[in-house]
Structure 1
Amino acid sequence: MFWLWLHLICGVILVVAALLGLWSRNLQLWSMLARMDYLFLLLSGVMLIVHAWQAHPVLLIVKLVFVIIAIGILEMAFAKRRRNELSNSTRWLAVLLIVIVLGLGLWLTQGFPLF
């Protein structure tokens, strides 16, 4: 239960860090928070993978692919933001992918622990 709550809370923190990092002036703070958050998400995700694999192996693989793509797009957006080359479509794509990953995670757990 601890790992599930940690994973959920870190996912919400990542959405906030991504939004603030891509739209606020203090990019360095929010990008570093997002990178630290990746580590906690990966650690808690590894601990939860055993339970999810038994119930939904295909959905878990889809989520893992989206996680890799989302982290890559978010890092690309942070780099473009640093160089002042970031477009609105890249900003929203990064946030949308993170929200999709969170949605897939909630689907994997059937909404638990929220519902």
Structure 2
Amino acid sequence: MDFLTSSTHLHIFSWVVGIIVFLIAATQPLDSKVRKIMKMVVRVFYILIIITGLALFIKFMSGDAALYGIKFIFGIVTIGMMEMVFARQAKNKSAQLFWILFAVSVLITVALGFHLPFGLKLF
């Protein structure tokens, strides 16, 4: 299981691809076969994001457990907002609030990830 925690590359790759696939799926017509396939692909990436994130959380939380816990919660909230966008779109209801919450939670999660000791030092 060391390949999950030797670096953050797998985790970063999985959430970047997951967000890109989510954006593609969310912008497709509701009855599109491409949308259904992309929704399944993004859900596979949810699993990969959670597994790699949990592995990193377990290994590195001893340094700053509170911030790692907050980041983990915001990561789960981000995935929840992605699913809420899909659910609201499927019911033909406005998903604008969930798009905003998704954007905010992504920004907070990424900022915390880069700020934490094992993250990339961008700022």
The bucket for the TM-score relative to the shorter chain is 0.7 to 0.9
SS class of match (2:50): helix
Q: 1:76 aligns with which of 81, 84, 91?
A: 84
Between the aligned residues of both structures, percent identity stands at: 24
Offset at 1:78? 0.6
> Could you report, residue by residue, the CA deviation over 1:59-91 in whole angstroms, capped at 9, with x for unpaired residues?
011112212222222111111111221333322
Gaps of 5+ in 2: none
Gaps of 5+ in 1: none
| CA RMSD of superposed structures (Å) | 2.4
Whole-angstrom CA distance in 1 between matches of 2:11 and 2:105: 17
Q: 1:17 aligns with which of 21, 34, 44?
A: 21
Whole-angstrom CA distance in 1 between matches of 2:86 and 2:76: 15
Structure 1's consecutive aligned runs of 4 or more residues displaced over 6 angstroms after TM superposition are: none
Structure with the bigger percentage of helix: 1
Offset at 1:2? 4.0
Q: Which has the larger radius of gyration?
A: 2
Q: What does residue range 35-114 of structure 1 map to in structure 2 within 5 Å?
A: 35-108=43-116, 109-111=118-120
Paired residues, number: 114
Give the TM-score normalised by structure 2: 0.76
Whole-angstrom CA distance in 2 between matches of 1:35 and 1:91: 18
Whole-angstrom CA distance in 2 between matches of 1:76 and 1:54: 32
For CA contacts below 8 A with separation 6 or more, give which structure has more relative contact order: 1
